[in-house]
Chain A
Amino acid sequence: MEKRPLPDSNRQWLLDELNLWRRLGLVNEDQVNGIVDLYETPTQSAERRQSTAIYLLVGVSACFVGLAVLLLVAYNWTLLPDAIKLFLLLIAVGGAHALGYSLRYLWDAKNFSESAFFLGCLFYGGSIWLIADIFHLGSHYPDGIWWWAVGVVPLAFFLDTIFLHMLAVTLLAAWVGTELIGFHGGVPGAFGLPRACWTLPILAGLGFFWSYQKKSTSTLGLYVPLAAWWLALVPLAWSGLARENPILYIGGIGALLLILAEVHPEGSLFAVPYRLYGSLVCIGVLTTLSFFEVQREFRHIHDLGVFVGLSVGITALALGAFGVAAAMHTPADDEATLDRPLMVFVTRQWLPLAMAGLMLFMALWYAALKNAAGNNDAFVAAVPTVLANVGMIGLAFWLMMLGLREDRGFPSGGGVLFFLVWSVCRYTEWFSDHGGLLGGACMFFLCGAAIFGFAMFWHYRKKQRETSDGE
């Protein structure tokens, strides 16, 4: 059985505790040895750290060698005949991969092989552009990025290496960005089907499937923002949709990510990437929308149908995801004793669903009052401004509660930081012109009281739970 990694600080703690348990008679000598044998020795840990450092250094050196070769070839490129150029390109790609293959399967040097494969994939991308340049094939350059990504994705799946997944995701994100932002119109020969990067969901879907099968949260953390990036840009494929302010639609994507995070069992690490990116998107959107002057910009809606349609579409997608997850929900063992396990599942979704509802409500609000604003302009913008601020505070406290519930510092710290951001934003908006220091002092006092009140609430709630568990 492979020895499990153990940091030095944890090792010392474990040895101290085992000594104590042995003295108390809780474990015997054999059990102590059995537990210690499960983990790496200090020498093995040091070797692993060294090999990780060497792995990183070799990776960086491979990048430098690749750059040096590319620059050297580029310097002499115009002097070389086309046949030699093509030969060099094929040899560079094939040679780097052959080296990687030999290192991995013949010489058993897995870490070095990954650098060679990575270099081979860089050469492959460079070769696409250079061959296109030799034959003047550059009609639609995002296609080159797509072919590069398509060549890297299978290698990333087979080799099980984060470097190649990072390269694949970066290329796919660049392809989506260049295709959707820079080009419009239909896919050639596809009966007017817009250029919406239709293969992205398939390629990203494979990444999601692979991440869940391999239980790799770090890889999932690459594909989640890729899918969100595509979802955010896909309306640009339709020229009519591109003109509208997309901020409420993007907020809907954040809500969708939060819903998907809470679909996972409580405490699951797979929820973390969805929650992290969902929170970041919602924080960005709500912070922007919390300013009164930003809300007043919604007076300029060009096409009401498109504006509402985008929000309705993303909310329907979010609710659809929630509905499918709720229908497929099987209660965990600890929920099975409860009368309504589905209710527990739904309760965890209160904030994500509220976020989705908030974004949709704002869109419908502005659509309904578009022509009825007149002298009530301030009122029309004030209601969504207040709601955006309530949403910010709700999200901040939700993150704090989540961190406390799952005993993780990152969400709690993020929630507190977000609350501070909200207080600074409101200070600048409300008291920079009027109220001055006194108003600011009053607001910060209330913020401190709110955080203190929350801490006390959580403390008493925890005590109550401990008491009820004891009974």
Chain B
Amino acid sequence: MASDKSHDPDAIAAGAPTRSADMAATAPDVEPITGDVEVKTWLDSMKDYEAAGVIAAIGLQLAVLVAMIVMGSLKAAREFF
């Protein structure tokens, strides 16, 4: 096994590859982080589901009205018969 020359100043001066150069050569391509790193809270994540939540809330209102109509119809039918 070849000895590690990455910390040897003489070897580096002679052109031996440094550890950082090795790492850079073998590192996978990662996109650099630019700008502010934004940490998402659960409340921010909730914003992604806002539209679905609004539809569910509207659905609840309509469901209440439909339930009232059904109850009222049953009541009227009971009274009729």
**Which B residues touch A124, using CB under 8 A?**
61, 64-65
The minimal Cβ–Cβ distance linking B29 to chain A, given in whole angstroms, is 28
B72 contacts A134, C-beta separation under 8 Å = yes
A93 contacts B75, C-beta separation under 8 Å = no
- Size of the A side of the interface (Cβ < 8 Å), in residues, is 31
**Which B residues touch A213, using CB under 8 A?**
43
**Which A residues touch B50, using CB under 8 A?**
158-159
Among the stretches A125-133, A268-276, A451-459, the one at the interface with B is A125-133
**Which A residues touch B21, using CB under 8 A?**
none
A449: CB under 8 A from chain B? no
A101: CB under 8 A from chain B? yes
A252 to B53, CA, bound (A): 39
A90 to B70, CA, bound (A): 13
Among the stretches A147-155, A311-319, A404-412, the one at the interface with B is A147-155
A131 contacts B68, C-beta separation under 8 Å = yes
Q: A154-B60, A213-B43 are contacts. A131–B65 as well, Cβ < 8 Å?
A: yes
A135 contacts B57, C-beta separation under 8 Å = no
B61 contacts A97, C-beta separation under 8 Å = yes
Query: Interface 1/0s, chain A 220-236, versus B by CB < 8 A?
Result: 00000000000000000
A247 to B68, CA, bound (A): 41
Nearest residue (CB) in A for B68 is A131
A94: CB under 8 A from chain B? yes
A157 to B46, CA, bound (A): 11
**Which B residues touch A94, using CB under 8 A?**
58, 62
A107: CB under 8 A from chain B? no
B53 contacts A154, C-beta separation under 8 Å = yes
Nearest residue (CB) in A for B75 is A135
B61 contacts A135, C-beta separation under 8 Å = no
**Which B residues touch A214, using CB under 8 A?**
43
**Which A residues touch B73, using CB under 8 A?**
135
Range of interface residues on B (Cβ < 8 Å): 20 to 34
Query: Interface 1/0s, chain B 3-43, versus A by CB < 8 A?
Result: 00000000000000000000000000000000010000001
Which of B58, B64, B71 interacts with A155 by CB under 8 Å? B58
A105: CB under 8 A from chain B? yes
A86 to B76, CA, bound (A): 15
A1 to B35, CA, bound (A): 10
B65 contacts A93, C-beta separation under 8 Å = yes
The minimal Cβ–Cβ distance linking B59 to chain A, given in whole angstroms, is 10
**Which A residues touch B1, using CB under 8 A?**
none
A155 contacts B54, C-beta separation under 8 Å = yes
A137 contacts B72, C-beta separation under 8 Å = yes
B57 contacts A127, C-beta separation under 8 Å = no
B53 contacts A158, C-beta separation under 8 Å = yes
A392: CB under 8 A from chain B? no
Which of B51, B56, B65, B75 interacts with A105 by CB under 8 Å? B51
A213 to B66, CA, bound (A): 34
B56 contacts A154, C-beta separation under 8 Å = yes
A151 contacts B36, C-beta separation under 8 Å = no
B62 contacts A154, C-beta separation under 8 Å = no
The minimal Cβ–Cβ distance linking B46 to chain A, given in whole angstroms, is 8
B55: CB under 8 A from chain A? yes
B61 contacts A131, C-beta separation under 8 Å = no
**Which A residues touch B60, using CB under 8 A?**
150-151, 154
A101 contacts B58, C-beta separation under 8 Å = yes
A-B contact pairs, 11 of them (CB 8 A): A94-B58, A94-B62, A128-B68, A135-B68, A135-B75, A136-B72, A136-B75, A151-B61, A155-B61, A158-B54, A158-B57
CB within 8 Å of B: which residues of A? 1, 86, 89-90, 93-94, 97, 101, 104-105, 120-121, 124, 127-128, 131-132, 134-137, 147, 150-151, 154-155, 157-159, 213-214
Question: 11 new A-B pairs (CB below 8 Å) besides A90-B62, A124-B65?
Answer: A90-B66, A97-B61, A127-B65, A131-B72, A135-B69, A135-B75, A137-B72, A150-B60, A151-B60, A157-B53, A158-B57
Top 6 nearest A-B pairs by Cβ distance?
A: A135-B72, A158-B53, A154-B57, A151-B61, A155-B57, A97-B58
